Amino acid sequence: MANHLTISTESDLAPPALPTTAVTRRSLLGGAGIAVGAAVLASPPSMPGIAPAAAQPVSADPRPLDAAFKRRAFEVRGVCASNNEKIPIAPHPTNGDEARYTNKIGSDSRGLPHDKRGEVEQAAWQALYTACQSGDPADFEKIPLGGTRKLVNPVGTQAVSLSGINPTQIAIPPAPALASAERAGEAVEVYWQSLLRDVPLTELRDDTSNRDVLSATEELNKLADFRGPKSGGRVTPGTLFRANALYFDPADPRGRSVTPPGVLDGPLISQFLLRDAPYAAQWISAQIRTALPANEFLTEYEEWLAIQNGAAPKRQLQFDATPRYITTGRDLAEYIHTGPALGWAAALILATPGGGTDQRYSGIYPPTEAVSYPSNPYRKSKTQSPAGATFGLPYVQALLATAISNSVRASYWQKYFVHRAVRPEAYGGLAHHRLANDVSDYPLHDNFLKSEALDRSKAKYGTYLLSQTYPEAAPLHSTYPGGATSVGAITATMLKAFFDESRVIANPVQPDPADPTRLVPYSGPPLTVGGELNKLAVNFGFGRNWAGIHWRSDASASMALGEEVAIGMLRDERTTLREPFDGFSFTRFDGSRVTI
């Protein structure tokens, strides 16, 4: 694995210098906050040179090497803490809906008790609000719930991460407002996704003849404010339901929207989700258990209201008995339903040497074609190889595990303590009351109320409620930003820091739409490791949109947020390392390069 997972560098293995680089506000802020370009960190404190060891009698005094190691450990912790403390608290703008609507129809109140119209009981909302202002665990225990389901981990977001920065130091733009054209555009999109869940994803290409795909594309192009990726200024079948990333921009309240490199290239599903992952003497199959098309939930009003109150679902998913590759939007939604090991599998695929007779136990590159990033200090070492301590696969896996937890802390903190934005399922309830029950004080935009997507959904399900693929619908925390996407984003960023993202993936594949239990070759523009890792990140997040539980902006903002958490962690990790190397370098979701 030394020649496969490692990273090369032009420098030799001389000890690093003491830290001299000044830490400035501009160099420390980045990602979802203020862009940094190339964030280059100070080198870690150095251990002094030690003379060759000679035979020594047993002594109570510490050896010089021991004392130097202890001193360096103290210095490194101090440097990391000092650098992170210099990063100011970021701005946290909101969409204003919480203050705008006294009945809180623009805010997430699911899990609390609601009246027959689905509006939250004010005393319960006030208890939630009080807890979110104080952060006191005792205040969260005072929140009255409307059912048996519980709020998801609000106090856990306040845990101090010992690697990287605090969630309060990351800025994201405000969520789209309830009555805005942007939110209406997102609603039209997610209703189309619910209608097209069982269309093969191979139909999302510019030469498709699928009438439903063409209708969705045509309607999205008519919207006053739709922020999804476009080609030539227009949504096309090839850009339909593809992903973007949204960065905070002090000059633009709506943020800076970009299309990450690679996400428009080739199949919508990442190659890392279509390949079996070798796992030593085992393997993880890329085929999954899929849910049957009949699984549609929350389109009956009483079921919808019970779920808003936090009742446990009465119906359960029904599954196809035959595993298959991810072929439809419904498949992708089910794959990410309960937190798959997508980053773990991707790391195994990249780190395991290929070329074996059984592809299930092989990676995608032979041992002579190292796929690791070209700055690893071990690529040029004549005597050393990486392992679990640093730069080996267990080291990368350990960082991934911590990164996932840290990204969830950051995204959930925004959910509870800043935005508390409304979920698509609750927005669908407002639409139902507005159109079916003539509740005129629910201010939804005409772009949505008069849309073909909404009309088609009403004709299919009999209500204006948004169908969900999960019987429990969304977890009990607010929609913005998306936790799943932050996990995907930090996973992709970490892997790009360790593996050569410029490498072209050989023999790309896609599921056969006529037989989704088999793969067929993909022929088209080259697919790179970096592009497919970006695609892996958005597959994780945007799969929740296919399920009906998230908006586009939830996923887009979390792309930048997860990346920023990763940058903070890598900054600290770089400081801890003893090996001299040029730093972690990768391409961010906006296409810029960063070196840490």
**Helix, strand, or coil here: 256?**
strand
Task: Compute φ and ψ for 26, nearest 5 degrees.
Answer: -65, -40
Residue 526 to residue 261: CA distance in whole angstroms: 12
Residue 421 to residue 95: CA distance in whole angstroms: 9
pLDDT in tens, the chain (596 residues): 434 443 333 333 333 343 333 333 333 333 444 333 333 444 444 444 444 445 556 666 678 899 999 999 999 999 999 999 999 999 999 999 999 999 999 999 999 999 999 999 999 999 999 999 999 999 999 999 999 999 999 999 999 999 999 999 999 999 999 999 999 999 999 999 999 999 999 999 999 999 999 999 999 999 999 999 999 999 999 999 999 999 999 999 999 999 999 999 999 999 999 999 999 999 999 999 999 999 999 999 999 999 999 999 999 999 999 999 999 999 999 999 998 888 899 999 999 999 888 989 999 888 888 788 888 889 888 999 999 999 999 999 999 999 999 999 999 999 999 999 999 999 999 999 999 999 999 999 999 999 999 999 999 999 999 999 999 999 999 999 999 999 999 999 999 999 999 999 999 999 999 999 999 999 999 999 999 999 999 999 899 999 999 999 999 999 999 999 999 999 999 999 999 888 999 999 999 999 99
Residue 367 to residue 254: CA distance in whole angstroms: 46
Residue 328 to residue 197: CA distance in whole angstroms: 6
Residue 418 to residue 25: CA distance in whole angstroms: 23
Longest CA pairwise span in the chain (Å): 91
Calculate helix-pair angle for 181-195, 552-576, nearest 10 degrees.
100
For 383, the token pair is: 């005597």
For 132, the token pair is: 């979110």
Chain length of the chain: 596
Residue 220 CA to its chain's centroid (Å): 24
Q: State the burial class of residue 282 (Cβ atoms within 10 Å of its Cβ: 0-12, 13-18, 19+).
A: exposed
Beta pairing partners, 586: 594
Q: State the burial class of residue 440 (Cβ atoms within 10 Å of its Cβ: 0-12, 13-18, 19+).
A: exposed
The answer to whether 176 and 182 have CB atoms below 8 angstroms apart is yes
Single out the residue of 164, 208, 73, 78 nearest to residue 576, CA to CA. Answer: 73
Global pTM reads 0.90
Residues 6+ apart with CB under 8 A from 398: none
Single out the residue of 153, 226, 244 nearest to residue 189, CA to CA. Answer: 226
The answer to whether 519 and 512 have CB atoms below 8 angstroms apart is yes
The answer to whether 465 and 429 have CB atoms below 8 angstroms apart is yes
Q: 3-state SS string over 329-377?
A: HHHHHHHCCCCCCHHHHHHHHHHCECCCCCHHHCCCECCCCCCECCCCC
Cis preceding linkage at 481, omega within 30:
yes
CB-hemisphere CA count at 13 Å for 166? 15
The answer to whether 286 and 276 have CB atoms below 8 angstroms apart is yes
Q: In Å, how far are 230, 240, 428 from 217, measured between CA atoms?
A: 10, 7, 21
